[in-house]
Structure 1
Amino acid sequence: MILGECYIGLSPRLAVAWKFLKFSISSEMNKNTKDNKIIRDILIHIDETENLNQRKLATELGIALGMANAYIKRCVRKGYIKVTQIPPNRYAYYLTPQGFTEKTRLTAEFLADSFSFFRRARVQYSDLYKLCAKNGWNRVAIAGVSELADIAILYAREHDIKLVAVICSDYDGETFHGLPVISSMNTDLDIDAVILAEIQSLEKKYLCLVNSMSPERILVPDLLPVRHKEIMI
């Protein structure tokens, strides 16, 4: 069974349990946070890029042109940006003193959130490794190729367990941080437990793991919003 492609074949109990699962990895990146990130990136680009236009800005930020226009208008209303018309039918964008202050504030906030997230992830993955060692689950796999997986793998060496593989169906490489990448649990590797470190398609991949292994051996850090304890097997 391939991770991320396993809605069909769930046991009846797991299918019923699906409605109790509330996945929202975007809670780490809620609407307010997303808005702040886009505004911060707009202010940074305007401050650092000459001859910037809306189309180029939208491309740089990876958002639609209409969305870029809406955010620019919001920044103008808030007094962060000054717009000057340059013939023919072109506009120049400048940061106001208030905009520069806001850019600095949002950047500091972003860095603080990033460091806080890193610390939480480090502590929570370390706790899961300790749990594995306590239960005798010495051969552990990491599910996911992501920034979380980077952190999880980095701190595994501090604990009395062995990482044997990374499980990911949509990764092109054969290895990740020196570990073999496998696409599913159908493997000859002897895996005692799996620790989730996935961000994209979290709900699909978690359910695939649950359908392939005893739920008690699928460990999820608290920072990932999977209410796995509600699944009744």
Structure 2
Amino acid sequence: MNEPVNDQDAGRTFRLLELIHQNGMLTQRELSRRLDIALGLVNLSLKRLMRQELVKVRRLSARRVVYLLTPVGMAEKGRLSARYLTDSFAMYRNARGVFLHHLAALRGQGVKRVLLVGEGPLAEAAFLTLHELGLQLVAVVGDGQLFLGHPVRPLDEIDPAAVDRVLFAVEGDDARWRAALDARGHVPERIDDLARLLLDAGRPQVPVQ
């Protein structure tokens, strides 16, 4: 039976279906880490997908299961993929314009060395834009291993003194990364939240009286 979901739930469903399609042997803890959401929320989401007959579970042993997409689940993944591909193209075009304006202004202020934190669509748009403007990418920081051909490095390998600006492109639960940046000595005044930039760019400007 279909259950009403909001955009956030739909996005989580798509990512969960995609991960299960890629590797149904992932544990709930591994899914939690990759989705950057609480373990309990992964458990609830999987139960909902099973109720909707999008996912089935096969027990391999007393402590090991494999998750499989049903034909209905495959169809739903395809539907959500088409939806989010369209949304992503629109977001990407908008992000490129906003980031181009912002990074050009930073370059005019003397900013040259940029640290990129994050590996999602916002980070991809920022990555291409900073190269277009000739800014130096100090490193890409995140949980993965490779990002658009660049190795992803741990934050503790980066010297804050070698960074003029941090582009914060973490999507989802970002508290862990904010705390890590603070602990490493990256001051808030030199950290640009890319999601916030997009949000502010979309707000109507209030005329000054």
Question: What TM-score, normalized by structure 2, do the two folds share?
Answer: 0.54
CA distance in 2, matches of 1:172, 1:129: 26
* Unmatched 5+ stretches in structure 2: 1-5, 32-41, 55-69, 201-209
Q: Among 163, 186, 189, which residue is 1:216 paired with?
A: 189
Superposed CA deviations along residues 138-185 of structure 1, whole A, max 9, x for unmatched, are: 1111112334323321222211422122233x3456x86346734237
Q: Which position in structure 1 is the counterpart of 2:117?
A: 143
Structure exhibiting the larger radius of gyration computed from Cα positions:
1
SS of structure 1 residue aligned to 2:119: coil
Q: Which position in structure 2 is the counterpart of 1:132?
A: 106
In the TM superposition, what are the counterparts of 1:58-207 in structure 2 within 5 Å?
66-72=47-53, 108-168=82-142, 170-172=143-145, 177-178=149-150, 181-184=153-156, 187=159, 190-199=162-171, 201-207=173-179
8 Å Cα contact 2:98/2:198 also seen in 1: no
Superposed CA deviations along residues 5-50 of structure 1, whole A, max 9, x for unmatched, are: xxxxxxxxxxxxxxxxxxxxxxx95125546x48x98xxx9xxxxx
Q: 1:69 to 1:121 in 2, by over 3 A?
A: same
Superposed CA deviations along residues 29-87 of structure 1, whole A, max 9, x for unmatched, are: 5125546x48x98xxx9xxxxxxxxxxxx879x776643331139xxxxxxxxxxxxxx
Number of equivalences:
160
SS of structure 2 residue aligned to 1:72: coil
- The percentage of counterpart residues that share the same residue type is 24
Q: Kindly state the Cα deviation for residue 193 of structure 1 after the two structures are TM-superposed.
A: 0.8
Greater RCO (CA < 8 Å, at least 6 residues apart): 1
Structure 1 segments of 4 or more deviating over 6 A?
Answer: 62-65, 102-105, 224-227
Q: Kindly state the Cα deviation for residue 225 of structure 1 after the two structures are TM-superposed.
A: 9.1
